Amino acid sequence: SRGMEEATRLPTQADDIEVYSTKVSCKVTSRFAHNVVTTRAVNRADAAKEVSFDVELPKTAFITNFTLTIDGVTYPGNVKEKEVAKKQYEKAVSQGKTAGLVKASGRKLEKFTVSVNVAAGSKVTFELTYEELLKRNKGKYEMYLKVQPKQLVKDFEIEVDIFEPQGISMLDAQASFITNDLLGSALSKSFSGKKGHVSFKPSLDQQRSCPTCGDTLLNGDFIITYDVNRESPANVQIVNGYFVHFFAPQGLPVVPKNVVFVIDISGSMYGRKIEQTRDALLKILEDIKEEDYLNFILFDSDVTTWKDTLVQATPENIQEAREFVKNIRDRGMTNINDGLLTGISMLNKAREEHTVPERSTSIVIMLTDGDANVGESRPAKIQENVLSAIGGRFPLYNLGFGNNLNYNFLESLALENDGFARRIYEDSDANLQLQGFYEEVANPLLTSVEVEYPENAILDLTRNTYQHFYDGSEIVVAGRLVDEDMNNFKADVKGHGALTDLTFTEEVDLKEMEKALQEQDYIFGSYIERLWAYLTIEQLLDKRKNAHGSEKENLTAQALDLSLKYHFVTPLTSMVVTKPEDSDNQMAIADKPGEGPEESVTAAIAYQTSYQPPSSPYYYVDGD
Amino acid sequence: PHFIIQVRGKKDAICFNIDEEPGTVLRLIQDPITGLTVNGQIIGDQGNSSNSKNRKTYLGKVGIVNSPMDLRIEVTTEKITLHNGAAQSTFSWLDTVTVTSERFSVKINREATVVSFGKGITFKVILHQVWKKHHIHLHFLGFYVLDSDKMSTKSHGLLGQFFRPLAFQVSDLNPGNDPSKIHATMLVKKHRLAVTRGYQKDYRKDVHNGTQVGCWFVHNNGQGVIDGVHSDYIVSDLF
């Protein structure tokens, strides 16, 4: 998903800089999206003017290219190791030659911005390419585009082509700003068999906020959702020796859950945050199934539990839980360590004493809005304690409420315990964010999922074991075949279901598969190889968060190597746009912001200096 | 549908047809000792349904119940559904999946579903597929009991009653006009039945081509070789 906007930096220049074309072209092949945003502008003023190009793209995307064309001369981007690019950038800055690009983080998006001075009468074309793997959530894939041009654009279009070998089962596109039939007629969407298409081409008149207005009503979210047919639980695709295995079985019963909610009720939760937490928990209680077991652990300076042990979600217990939740009040400081350890110990004990069903799965969901500041407050020690207490038996999910917390710590803590962290943004919908998260993990269909391939047939496999498979999600494993000429191979997916163990077997005829995929002109290049590289880098970066010493160095080297090879702007690389004949004359551009303080500082650096003649531009794309 | 009974202790088989209206459910096995019950629902060709003589009928649904395990398995030509207590798992014939628990296993692939209980009781349901766009024939099922000696001799049902030894004698062989269809007299269960030598196909091992099985065909819905009459085995629903 992405958003885009064109803007002059100074409002008074708006009429001088005409953005006459903006095109967003998305090609999605087997969930892997390749997006190109192209904007063309001309400076109609008598003097040089500055033009900005802003695109909002998903945090999960990697920029793969950015080019700038000024009066027909194109300056391509090159991905370099961050340190190398940074030195070049700093040199340029010291020479006063910079024009910059910054990325800032939002909820789902991060912003790519670049400004360039354009001589009088000159034209400039910005082209940004980024790629991402669309993840399945609650039964559908979602592409999110932010649309926000600052002026009417003569030639504005969004074109999305989707190709899914399994066949498309539903496709929808909705824009928050389409509130009338007139603009609605500019949107078309269709799908048939394996192909889907969405097009949005509003004319100038359709873009006007009123018939005589000069401002645009295109301002908001453009969201495309789709899903694929699932006649069989798995689908394997192979092209040029790389394979991807999608696994999403349907029709299985939900595995009963033993869920412990570890809730921060420290003083900082005062006011709306505690109200929203109560609201969310009350809603979640409505959705808990009777076969599930639960408990609430509240932590401030101390730890309070609703019940001494986990209890079944009977109607009576749920009613009692509602009363308990309604009376949650904020107080004291933040003792994350003891809160978590109490919850974990309760789950371990329930399992040991067989007070929860044998075929059930345990989950810890922690919500906090701040850093630990009482009891054991050293993050590293808390991580050590939690890792040891959980012992790989169940996942921990961390919800970071608001901004005043060490999100990197929460993320590391969750990742090393097979879960993940999620930010809950302080906003009117925080309760819905909490509830939405719970819905994602509410329906485990399989536990201890392991995807197995024939030994010695596969190389460079991405993650192939998962604690849980949740209804509406999808497991994606990619890898490389040792022998490209092999005729077939077999993949087994093993997991524990609610009542039985299951082994799904997928046999793949490679020749047939490759033939079928080659016939499709919708497919862009070696998409499976890039998908594999994307997934591998993503997983290496996650692992790196909890690694130390030589292991961290090794993971960094692997991720960097792949980022450079596949031209991905990741936290380890930067993209530098270089004037071809003058390699010293460069300028740094973007950054990939992370969630932690270190990255935030980097992300916040913006460079913008005086006009440089277009004959010697230099730009820098950074990813952190 | 055709029934083939490989008679214990004899290297020979008996076969018969049951001709009933599509939708009819027949009790195939009921074993009071193991608690296993198998019923089958009949489907018919999509052709001229008013002419029952020309209409072919097949098994379209098989319901397997294991009462002690509170397990029901429904196999249709489209899907396989496991009702395990209140929980339900659904699989497609396109799945290749093995479902295992301590007490049973179900193996599904594109050709057959094999259900096993404990040690040795195994049922195999085969999916016979016809050309998708065939305007008359439908996909249908074949049901086989593997190692039927593991079932109790107290079983009854159209198949279950043959899990105990059956004595029969064939005499008066008469070649008739068609040498491949020898007519004869069978003495079985104190009945003298006119039977015809015929061939049916056993698809247990070769799902696509089957294996020819020579058998003595008992006319009139197996009357005389089955206990009672075939309508005694009609039940109200699959479970």
For B63-83, what is each residue's pLDDT tens digit? 999 999 999 999 999 999 999
Q: Is the pLDDT of residue A53 over 60?
A: yes
- The stretch A559-574 carries a mean pLDDT of 90
Quickly count: other Cβ atoms within 10 Å of residue A429's Cβ.
Answer: 12
- Return d(Cα A120, Cα A614) in angstroms, integer: 11
3-state SS, one letter per residue, for chain B:
CEEEEECCCCCCEEEEECCCCCCCEEEEEEECCCCEEEEEEEEECCCCCCCCCCCCEEEEEEEEEECCCCEEEEEECCEEEEEECCEEEEEECCCCEEEECCCEEEEECCCEEEEEECCCEEEEEEEECCCCCCCCCCCEEEEEEECHHHCCCCCECCCHHHHCCCCEEEEEEECCCCCCCCEEEEEECCEEEEEEEEEEEECCCCCCCCEEEEEEEEHHHHECCECCCHHHHEECCCC
- Return d(Cα A447, Cα A428) in angstroms, integer: 34
pLDDT digits (tens, 9 = 90+) for B52-66: 566 788 999 999 999
Cβ–Cβ < 8 Å for B148, B204: no
Q: Identify all chain A residues contacting B82, using CB atoms and an 8 Å cutoff.
A: 500
Q: Where are the alpha helices (DSSP H) in A353-483?
A: 379-390, 407-415, 430-441
Is this complex's ipTM strictly greater than 0.95? no
Out of A73-87, A330-344, B16-30, B134-148, least confident range? A73-87
A107 by Cβ neighbours in 10 Å (0-12 / 13-18 / 19+) ranks as: exposed
Q: Cβ of B97 and A505 within 8 Å?
A: yes
- Return d(Cα A449, Cα A249) in angstroms, integer: 12
Best CA proximity match to B158, nearest among B219, B233, B218, B225: B233
| Residue-level pLDDT at A523 | 62
Cβ–Cβ < 8 Å for B117, B107: no
What CA–CA distances, in Å, run from A118 to A8, A74, A76, A478, A621? Answer: 11, 14, 17, 44, 19
- The stretch A80-99 carries a mean pLDDT of 65
Q: Cβ of B90 and A250 within 8 Å?
A: yes
**Mean confidence (pLDDT) of chain A:** 85
- Return d(Cα A446, Cα B89) in angstroms, integer: 12
Q: Identify all chain B residues contacting A503, using CB atoms and an 8 Å cutoff.
A: 97-98, 100
- Return d(Cα A452, Cα A276) in angstroms, integer: 43
Q: Cβ of A502 and B101 within 8 Å?
A: no
In chain B, whose CA is at the least distance from the CA of A493?
B97
Q: Is the pLDDT of residue A147 over 50?
A: yes
Q: Is the pLDDT of residue B34 over 60?
A: yes
Residue A166 has phi, psi (to 5 degrees) of -80, -10
CA of B55 vs chain A CAs: smallest distance (Å): 31
**pLDDT band (50, 70, 90) for residue A92:** low
- Return d(Cα A88, Cα A94) in angstroms, integer: 10
Residues whose CB is less than 8 angstroms from the CB of residue B219 and which lie 6 or more positions away in sequence, other chains included: B16, B193, B194, B195, B196
Q: Cβ of B98 and A253 within 8 Å?
A: no
What's the gap between Cα A444 and its chain centre? 21
- In this structure, what DSSP letter does residue A252 have? P
CA of A231 vs chain B CAs: smallest distance (Å): 7
Q: Is the pLDDT of residue A598 over 60?
A: no
Q: Cβ of B95 and A498 within 8 Å?
A: no
Q: Which helix (DSSP H) or strand (DSSP E) does residue A528 occupy?
A: helix A527-544
In chain A, whose CA is at the least distance from the CA of B94?
A232
Structure tokens at A271: 């006011």
Cβ–Cβ < 8 Å for B126, B111: yes
Residue of A232, A292, A492, A507 to mutate for B, most B C-beta atoms under 10 A = A232
Structure tokens at A282: 């009350």
Residue A232 has its nearest CB partner, among B90, B95, B98, at B95
Q: Is the pLDDT of residue A514 over 90?
A: no
Q: Cβ of A500 and B82 within 8 Å?
A: yes
Residue % of chain A over a pLDDT of 70: 85
Q: Cβ of A501 and B89 within 8 Å?
A: no
**3-class secondary-structure state, position A172:** strand
Structure tokens at A255: 């595995």
pLDDT digits (tens, 9 = 90+) for B175-225: 877 777 899 999 999 999 999 998 899 998 888 889 999 999 999 999 999
| Residue-level pLDDT at B131 | 75
Cβ–Cβ < 8 Å for A100, A92: no
Q: Is the pLDDT of residue B47 over 80?
A: no
- The stretch B7-32 carries a mean pLDDT of 91
Residue A231 has its nearest CB partner, among B84, B92, B97, at B92
- The stretch A391-400 carries a mean pLDDT of 95
Chain A residues whose C-beta sits inside 8 Å of any chain B C-beta: 231-233, 249-253, 497-507
Quickly count: other Cβ atoms within 10 Å of residue B6's Cβ.
Answer: 16
Residue A618 has phi, psi (to 5 degrees) of -150, 140
| Residue-level pLDDT at B186 | 94
Q: Identify all chain B residues contacting A257, using CB atoms and an 8 Å cutoff.
A: none
Residue B4 has phi, psi (to 5 degrees) of -120, 125
Q: Is the pLDDT of residue A621 over 60?
A: no
Residue B87 has its nearest CB partner, among A498, A501, A507, at A498
**3-class secondary-structure state, position A115:** strand
| Residue-level pLDDT at A89 | 67
In this structure, the dihedral spanned by the alpha carbons of residues A179, A180, A186 and A189, taken in order and rounded to 10 degrees, is 60
What's the gap between Cα A288 and its chain centre? 27
In chain B, whose CA is at the least distance from the CA of A492?
B97
Determine the length of chain A: 624
- The stretch B159-183 carries a mean pLDDT of 87
- Return d(Cα A283, Cα A219) in angstroms, integer: 32
Best CA proximity match to B84, nearest among B64, B69, B95: B69
**3-class secondary-structure state, position A595:** coil
Q: Is the pLDDT of residue A191 over 90?
A: yes
Q: Identify all chain B residues contacting A500, using CB atoms and an 8 Å cutoff.
A: 82, 84, 89, 99-101
Residues whose CB is less than 8 angstroms from the CB of residue B141 and which lie 6 or more positions away in sequence, other chains included: B40, B58, B59, B60, B61, B62, B75, B76, B77, B125, B126, B127, B128
3-state SS, one letter per residue, for A341-353:
HHHHHHHHHHHHC
Q: Cβ of B95 and A504 within 8 Å?
A: yes
**3-class secondary-structure state, position A288:** coil
| Residue-level pLDDT at B165 | 86
Helix and strand numbers, DSSP H then E, in chain A: 13, 34
- In this structure, what DSSP letter does residue A594 have? -
Q: Identify all chain B residues contacting A499, using CB atoms and an 8 Å cutoff.
A: 84-85, 87, 89, 101
Determine the length of chain B: 239
**pLDDT band (50, 70, 90) for residue A286:** very high
CA of B239 vs chain A CAs: smallest distance (Å): 20
Q: Cβ of B99 and A504 within 8 Å?
A: no
* Sign of the dihedral defined by the CA atoms of residues A52, A55, A56, A61, in that order: negative
Q: Cβ of B101 and A499 within 8 Å?
A: yes
Residue A252 has its nearest CB partner, among B89, B92, B96, at B89
CA of A151 vs chain B CAs: smallest distance (Å): 52
**pLDDT band (50, 70, 90) for residue A100:** very low
Residue at A143: amino acid letter:
M
| Residue-level pLDDT at A12 | 34
Quickly count: other Cβ atoms within 10 Å of residue A78's Cβ.
Answer: 17
- In this structure, what DSSP letter does residue A330 have? -
| Residue-level pLDDT at A593 | 58
| Residue-level pLDDT at A5 | 38
Q: Cβ of A501 and B85 within 8 Å?
A: no
Residue A500 has its nearest CB partner, among B92, B96, B101, at B101
Q: Cβ of B84 and A233 within 8 Å?
A: no
Q: Is the pLDDT of residue A446 over 70?
A: yes
Q: Identify all chain A residues contacting B94, using CB atoms and an 8 Å cutoff.
A: 231-232
Instruction: State the Cα angle at A64 between A60 and A70, rounded to 5°.
Output: 130
Cβ–Cβ < 8 Å for A266, A331: yes
Residues paired with residue B156 on neighbouring β-strands, in sequence order: B30
Residue % of chain A over a pLDDT of 90: 60
DSSP string, A546-586: T--HHHHHHHHHHHHHHHHHHT-B-TTEEEEEE-TT-TT-E
Chain B residues whose C-beta sits inside 8 Å of any chain A C-beta: 79, 81-82, 84-85, 87-92, 94-101, 109
Q: Cβ of B89 and A505 within 8 Å?
A: no
Q: Identify all chain A residues contacting B89, using CB atoms and an 8 Å cutoff.
A: 251-253, 497-500
Residue at A596: amino acid letter:
G
| Residue-level pLDDT at A91 | 67
Q: Identify all chain A residues contacting B100, using CB atoms and an 8 Å cutoff.
A: 500-503
Residue B87 has its nearest CB partner, among A499, A501, A502, at A499
Q: Is the pLDDT of residue A411 over 90?
A: yes
DSSP string, A57-81: EETT-EEEEEEEEETTEEE-EEEEE
| Residue-level pLDDT at A518 | 65
- Return d(Cα B72, Cα B56) in angstroms, integer: 28
Residues whose CB is less than 8 angstroms from the CB of residue B87 and which lie 6 or more positions away in sequence, other chains included: A253, A498, A499
pLDDT digits (tens, 9 = 90+) for A475-505: 999 999 998 777 888 899 999 999 899 999 9
pLDDT digits (tens, 9 = 90+) for B106-120: 999 999 999 999 878
| Residue-level pLDDT at B53 | 61
- The number of C-beta contacts closer than 8 angstroms across A and B is 56
pLDDT digits (tens, 9 = 90+) for A155-177: 999 999 999 989 999 999 999 88
Q: Identify all chain A residues contacting B88, using CB atoms and an 8 Å cutoff.
A: 251, 253
- Return d(Cα A51, Cα B94) in angstroms, integer: 56
